Structure 1
Amino acid sequence: MKIKMDYGKEGVFFDIPDNSDILLPNHKKKLSNPKDQIISSIDNPINSIPLRSLYKKGMKVGVSVCDHTRAQPRNEIILSLLKIFEGIKKNDLLIFVATGSHRATTEEEIKEIFNSEVISNTTIVIHNSEISSELENLGNTSKKTPVILNKEWISCDLKITTGFVEPHFFAGFSGGPKMVAPGLAGIDTIMNLHDYDRINNKKSSWGIIEGNPIHEEISEISRILKPDFSIDLTLNRENNITGIYSGDLFSEHKIACNEVRKDSMIETKKLYDLVITSNSGYPLDQNLYQTIKGVSAASQITKPGGYIIAVSQCSDGIPFNSPYEKLLKSVNNPKEYLDHLKNTDELEPDQWQLQIQAQLQEKNKIFLYSKLNEKDTSNAHLSKTENVEKIIEEISSRVKNPSICVLPEGPQTIPYKK
């Protein structure tokens, strides 16, 4: 049968055996008139007074949004805020692009993710986790992680986080407190939050909040400097809004997470010899760094010694010249780096991603269908394929009647076997 995988902006089709299992999330229907419903949600918040009552004319308002690697409907939220803050000056409404440790969002990407009305009426601030003059240290968490955040965000009179909630492979879920840290955090904070022990913890995984050391600590940071108001969305495959949750950060995010858990966490009755996964298409499949999420989702239901084919465009490379690419090139194989991490207290940017990749590759053989060339794929310690059907045939010659599962939407579906 022919199956469409999310890949870049257009998708890609493959022929797979008819007896393959297809797993998809249980998306809700898109909301009609989402802008009106956003305003209604903001005016009827969860465990909070309405945003209109929090805002006073002349306030400097900070709004954190996702960066270019996320499919957040930013314009709908910001245009709704502009209506609520009617007459607010451009210099008083700051939109913080919460890049965390990702590369800076480019000017071209800014024009893609924000429309002209938003750009004309707001001041866009691209967070940089490595410029110390733009950061401020607020002390330490109870686990001794330094709380270093964007200085301009700290100075805002009214702080609003906006995000969208989906399962996350080590923080449990996206959105919520992640829009403060790591989103607007300094690199030292980010590296501590993503150290070997936290990433290695079994509860640092998909859909887990309670007992998850990463989620708990980023939540602590958001309590040290708590946002005044938060807005989280849920989306479907076409990135249409299916749910709006506004109000107190922890209250609204918990409700959103519970809804997404019901929709995205899909139980299977068995493990598979081969799992084929996308990385949810553009913008999440822009680079290999993000692609590890899709591989992690697939690994949840892949037999030890089994195979994973990751279908991810990687139009932005590794990203090239990133710390992740440098780490990949610094080792002969991922296990070598994993052994290094076990025996050092030193922290490096992006070490967490290679740690996760190495742990996945200890269990499964990974093929990559992408725009990366053979050399770049090899340097990333992965096996390149330009023909998914051929790989299926090769695996079928090694494994009699292999069990196959397909995740067309990648990590929008988080499969698990009890």
Structure 2
Amino acid sequence: METTYTWPYGRQEISFTLPDERVKNCLTMAQMQPLADPIRAIREALLHPIDSAPLPELIDAGDKVAIIVNDTTRIAHTDIFLPVIVEMLNERGVADEDITILFALGMHRPMTDEEMISQITEDLFRRLRTVNAQARHDADYVNIGTTSYGTPVAFHKDALAADKLILTGSVVHHFFAGFGGGRKALFPGVAHRETIRHNHSLMLDPHAVIGEIKTNPIYLDQVEGCEMHRPTFLLNTVLNEKKEFIGVFAGDYITAHEKACELVDRMNGVEIPREYPIVIVTCGGYPKDINIYQSQKTMDNAVCAVQEGGVVILLAACPEGSGNSEFDATVRAYPSPKKIEAYVREDFQIGRHKAYAVTRLMKKADFYLLSEMPDDAARAALFTPVHSVKEALALAEQKLGPNADICLMPQGSYTVPRLVKKA
């Protein structure tokens, strides 16, 4: 018996057929019921927070308040929860002119006015002061210390000048910081470029892995930096694949975030009894597979399911190629995972770190890339280019044999496999 699968690919779909006896697992997200009334859940979270007094009790009349929110690259539904927060601040005697919205750009480009409006609503955009926290604008940053990891901590002056600092965002798995959300709104969200660069250099540590925060040096360094200017309050959302609210968590910026991480892990974490010779995975179509830079998250997840020396067949259209000029320059100058790692260790810079993040995965398994990229561009990025799943499977069988087991990952950018060996 055979089954035909149809998966998202770029702006369309792609179909392929596999023999049923070869497919040993199909990894999907846990289906969780979305919140029936997100606004009510937001209010409840703000008034009954985790390890914190309710938000209104933390605010005094006349306070200057800074609220850090996501930029346009990360969906949190800021436009839904931010009006609720601002309303509570107003009710406590905080005037609109004393509220600053800081967009957590990290190293991303500045937001346009139109993008800001889409994130925080036109009403709040007109009423409140909005600031792009641009990490390269040295004059906007103030150094407040150095972490035990050697990271110089400099945050945006508007975050430091506020009487009260509120972090917001969404929580997802992160390939080297463990999880997004929480402290990341402040650090790296509104941190100076050198603060970000040094922190991200810790990704070379073997403990800097997806889904881990307790021993993760990236996370621990970020928290240590945040403790130098401790945030007043946090609100984080957890969304499903359809971007519906699954959970709202508020309160202490560390422990409330940890609770959100637990929910994300229950939704996206998938236990597997063993690793598999062949993993076939899709990013989920556009925009998740717009380029290699974005597809890397899916690659990280797939590597958790593939066995050493196996094959990952990656369905990622990548119409924009790699998506990063520094990535291109790095892989062309240092055409092997080992050489790239040595280069990045010698001089860690944002941009080239993605070349390391992608190619380090190729130490465990071969990656066959089904994409719109020219073959020479795919090869330059150290992928084996293929033009169909059938072709990719034939190549994999030459390496692994005609009966090699297959694991499917139709939600590859979300599902995080976790190997659980039976006692």
TM-score by length of 1: 0.89
Alignment partner of 1:67 out of 57, 68, 71: 71
Q: Secondary structure at the match of 1:103?
A: coil
| 1:111-167 alpha-carbon deviations (Å, 9 max, x no partner) | 554443343333332222111112111110122210011122222222111122222
Q: 1:159 to 1:359 in 2, by over 3 A?
A: same
Greater alpha carbon shift after TM alignment, 161-170 vs 102-111: 102-111
Distance 2:98 2:321 in 1: 36
Q: 1:285 to 1:249 in 2, by over 3 A?
A: farther
Q: 1:349 to 1:104 in 2, by over 3 A?
A: same
Number of residue equivalences = 412
The Cα of 1:41 is off from its aligned counterpart by 0.8
- Find out whether 1:148 has 2:149 as its counterpart: no
Distance 2:373 2:161 in 1: 42
Q: Secondary structure at the match of 1:349?
A: coil
8 Å CA contact 1:149–1:186 kept in 2: the answer is yes
8 Å CA contact 1:5–1:409 kept in 2: the answer is no
Alignment partner of 1:337 out of 340, 348, 351: 340
Distance 1:338 1:47 in 2: 41
| 1:79-128 alpha-carbon deviations (Å, 9 max, x no partner) | 22232233765543322221212333455544554443343333332222
- Find out whether 1:122 has 2:123 as its counterpart: no
Q: Secondary structure at the match of 1:415?
A: strand
Letter in 1 for 2:339: E
- Find out whether 1:98 has 2:100 as its counterpart: no
- Find out whether 1:363 has 2:367 as its counterpart: no
Letter in 2 for 1:409: Q
- Find out whether 1:223 has 2:227 as its counterpart: yes
Counterpart position of 1:175: 181
- Find out whether 1:276 has 2:288 as its counterpart: no
Distance 2:12 2:169 in 1: 25
Alignment of 1:16-165 (within 5 A): 16-17=17-18, 18=20, 19-20=22-23, 21-86=25-90, 90-107=96-113, 109-165=115-171
| 1:209-266 alpha-carbon deviations (Å, 9 max, x no partner) | 2111111111111211111100111111101110111001111011112222233221
Letter in 2 for 1:350: G
Q: Secondary structure at the match of 1:335?
A: helix
Q: Give structure 1 stretches of 5+ with no counterpart.
A: none
Aligned identity (percent) is 26
User: Which protein is bigger by CA-based radius of gyration?
Assistant: 2
Alignment of 1:185-334 (within 5 A): 185-195=191-201, 198-279=202-283, 281=285, 284-314=288-318, 317-321=321-325, 323-334=326-337
Distance 1:29 1:193 in 2: 36
Greater alpha carbon shift after TM alignment, 253-262 vs 329-338: 329-338
Distance 2:354 2:41 in 1: 37
Greater alpha carbon shift after TM alignment, 96-105 vs 296-305: 96-105
8 Å CA contact 1:27–1:237 kept in 2: the answer is no
8 Å CA contact 2:6–2:16 kept in 1: the answer is no
Distance 2:373 2:404 in 1: 28
Letter in 2 for 1:53: E
The Cα of 1:395 is off from its aligned counterpart by 2.6
Letter in 2 for 1:353: K
Distance 1:315 1:52 in 2: 48
Counterpart position of 1:417: 419
Letter in 2 for 1:41: A
